[in-house]
Amino acid sequence: MRKGKWVKKFFGRAGALLMAAILVSASALAGCGGSGSGGGSGSQETVSSGRSTVLGSGSKKIRILSGSENRELEPVLSQYADKNHLQIEMTYEGSLDIMRDLGEKDFAYDAVWPASSIWMNAGDSLHRVKHAQSIAINPVVFGIRKSLAQELGFVGKEVSVNDILDAIMAGKLRFCMTSATQSNSGASAYLGFIQALAGDTDVIQKEDVEKQEVQDKLRELLSGIDRSSGSSEWLRDMFVKGGCDAMVNYECLIISANKELEQAGQEPLYVIYPYDGLSIADSPLGYVDQGDKESEERFLGLQEYLLSPDVQSQIQKTGRRTAYTGINEENKSVFKSEWGLQPDRVLSPFKFPDWSVIEECLNIYQSQLRKPSLTVYCLDYSGSMQGEGNEQLMKAMEQLLIQENAEKYFLQASADDVTILVPFDNSVRDVYRSDGDAQNMKALYDTLQSLFPDGGTDMYTAMEQGLQEMKNYDLSKYNPALIVMTDGQSQDYYDQFEEEYLQDKSGIPIFSIMYGDADSQQLDQLAQLSNARVFDGREDLVGAFQKVRGYN
């Protein structure tokens, strides 16, 4: 490890422009139909902490809080916005965030468009949602490298969740999946696993997930997860970059990934529809009634357009279904049989239980069943963090380390989780460790409270220390991640760090949180190196920490 102390340098903030480029690139990659997600004629894109896109122009506006999977429909929305001389502002959040926002008294949107009705129904505690209708249908499926699917005997046959579990227990299958407590695709897949493993039950009950036999099988199945994510679209992008053999995701995102894989000369994924635990995202678009009749009329016009036969056909071309009974003849070529896709399949999803049961299932997943997390936080305690920066950092750590706070966002630690803190300035201050015990996690928080920001910035040595700490653990038993938060710029010893990281061969993802005058280019280098991502915490540092925590 380098012993020298590095001096902090401050430069002008270039992060906003680079972050915009990153988000535009991500939206283009994440489209379900592979056609890109540009705003269309007359559209413009703005980037904020809520990841908003404004489509069209005009004095009238429709504001929609949407799941990120709807980015691919921006060209369809732009056509309507341009024709009707209005703006459609799409703000993208995860399904659970949408659920929580919908329950707030002050709701800053005209409509809500989550991946599944379960989040709309659970969040509409004030009973304001009306005119809700499904715009598209997306089954949550397994995509497995075709040669591996053939080796497992999955090609050309009906596959059950138990068949998948057998492959995992035999050490033949590993996969990536979004977090069940942060993303609809992960939650839907997890509930499908419970439905299948619980046996003969029409609807999951609390006692089903509390059975020891079911929990043992779920824990074994979830142990097959190699990488996790808080976003379905980002999981797809990560998979395309390489490193995994299978992923659980929306059918449309598997189609999109396969198009890119084949264009790059790589092996495509073969789609598996688990017949005993198939879940469906029904993509409901609903109006949030806050007493504005003109807004309601604008919404109804947009919804009517999206449900019209011609537009429904356009939506099918993106890889989405619009009915449970199959695909229109003119769009069947999108659903290639050689990829295992079944355009004529009649979808028979299981019935979701009541929210109280779902909530119990999610809590058990987070606290008992998921693969344990091994998380190293490299936290900037340089002098520039004095004042507001340190206050925001402590608020973020309060939400993650104080377990009654973390539980509100399904981010609580399990008993087997390991959390390591590496506070740094121009050198590593110290290293602090904890298991998932609530009192021990609080002790970490108390330790941070006693630290005072001072000195320069050396994030590379802190990250080296974090990676060294991880060598003390069997990484195959954890979902590992290194999370670095900085508000400045380290002297550029990236080349040396890159060399040491590649020699290590652990492939640990390095997520970073940008704050203050942090050099976004340095952070993006780390994301590219480790197939991870950068989170912008300049407007909401607490929210950025909550989001990044959902990625392992």
Residue 30 in any domain: the answer is yes
Shared-domain flag, residues 6 and 59: no
pLDDT digits 0-9 by tens, 527-548: 999 999 999 999 899 999 999 9
pLDDT digits 0-9 by tens, 382-434: 999 999 999 999 999 999 999 999 999 999 999 999 999 999 999 999 999 99
The pLDDT-based confidence of 41 (bands split at 50, 70, 90) is very low
Residue 198 has pLDDT above 80, yes or no: yes
- Count how many domains the chain has: 4
Residue 46 in any domain: the answer is no
Residue 265 in any domain: the answer is yes
Instruction: Give the span between the Cα atoms of 276 and 159, in whole angstroms.
Output: 8
User: Do residues 220 and 169 make contact, with C-beta atoms less than 8 angstroms apart?
Assistant: yes
User: Do residues 274 and 190 make contact, with C-beta atoms less than 8 angstroms apart?
Assistant: no
Residue 42 in any domain: the answer is no
Residue 9 has pLDDT above 60, yes or no: no
Residue 315 has pLDDT above 80, yes or no: yes
Residue 8 has pLDDT above 50, yes or no: no
Which residue from 107, 17, 89 is spatially nearest to 52, judged by alpha carbons? 89
Shared-domain flag, residues 424 and 540: yes
Residue 77 has pLDDT above 50, yes or no: yes
Shared-domain flag, residues 266 and 185: yes
Residue 69 has pLDDT above 50, yes or no: yes
Containing H/E element for 88? strand 86-93
Instruction: Give the span between the Cα atoms of 449 and 483, in whole angstroms.
Output: 19
**Mean pLDDT for the stretch of residues 497-502:** 93
Instruction: Give the span between the Cα atoms of 318 and 313, in whole angstroms.
Output: 9
Residue 308 in any domain: the answer is yes
pLDDT at 521: 92
Residue 18 has pLDDT above 70, yes or no: no
pLDDT at 473: 96
Instruction: Give the span between the Cα atoms of 418 and 101, in whole angstroms.
Output: 30
pLDDT digits 0-9 by tens, 206-226: 999 999 999 999 999 999 999
Shared-domain flag, residues 266 and 386: no
User: Do residues 499 and 535 make contact, with C-beta atoms less than 8 angstroms apart?
Assistant: no
Residue 29 has pLDDT above 70, yes or no: no
**Structural domain of 531:** 372-549
Shared-domain flag, residues 276 and 287: no
Shared-domain flag, residues 83 and 203: no
pLDDT at 193: 97
- The residue with greater pLDDT, 251 or 201, is 251
Instruction: Give the span between the Cα atoms of 289 and 221, in whole angstroms.
Output: 42
Shared-domain flag, residues 189 and 326: no
Which residue from 179, 59, 53 is spatially nearest to 113, judged by alpha carbons? 53
User: Do residues 432 and 447 make contact, with C-beta atoms less than 8 angstroms apart?
Assistant: yes
Instruction: Give the span between the Cα atoms of 203 and 198, in whole angstroms.
Output: 10
CATH code for position 417: 3.40.50.410
**Mean pLDDT for the stretch of residues 373-381:** 97
User: Do residues 497 and 464 make contact, with C-beta atoms less than 8 angstroms apart?
Assistant: yes
Shared-domain flag, residues 352 and 397: no
pLDDT at 45: 30
Shared-domain flag, residues 402 and 516: yes
- The residue with greater pLDDT, 242 or 166, is 166
Residue 126 has pLDDT above 70, yes or no: yes
pLDDT at 42: 32
User: Do residues 236 and 227 make contact, with C-beta atoms less than 8 angstroms apart?
Assistant: no
Residue 465 has pLDDT above 90, yes or no: yes
Shared-domain flag, residues 530 and 455: yes
**SS3 assignment, position 313:** helix
User: Do residues 93 and 101 make contact, with C-beta atoms less than 8 angstroms apart?
Assistant: yes
Residue 244 in any domain: the answer is yes
pLDDT at 441: 97
The pLDDT-based confidence of 200 (bands split at 50, 70, 90) is confident
Residue 411 in any domain: the answer is yes
**Mean pLDDT for the stretch of residues 171-190:** 95
pLDDT at 22: 34
Shared-domain flag, residues 461 and 543: yes
pLDDT at 524: 95
pLDDT digits 0-9 by tens, 89-111: 999 988 888 999 999 999 999 99
Instruction: Give the span between the Cα atoms of 197 and 183, in whole angstroms.
Output: 21
pLDDT digits 0-9 by tens, 275-290: 999 999 999 999 999 9
Residue 43 in any domain: the answer is no
Shared-domain flag, residues 167 and 70: no
CATH code for position 180: 3.40.190.10
pLDDT at 276: 93
**SS3 assignment, position 188:** helix
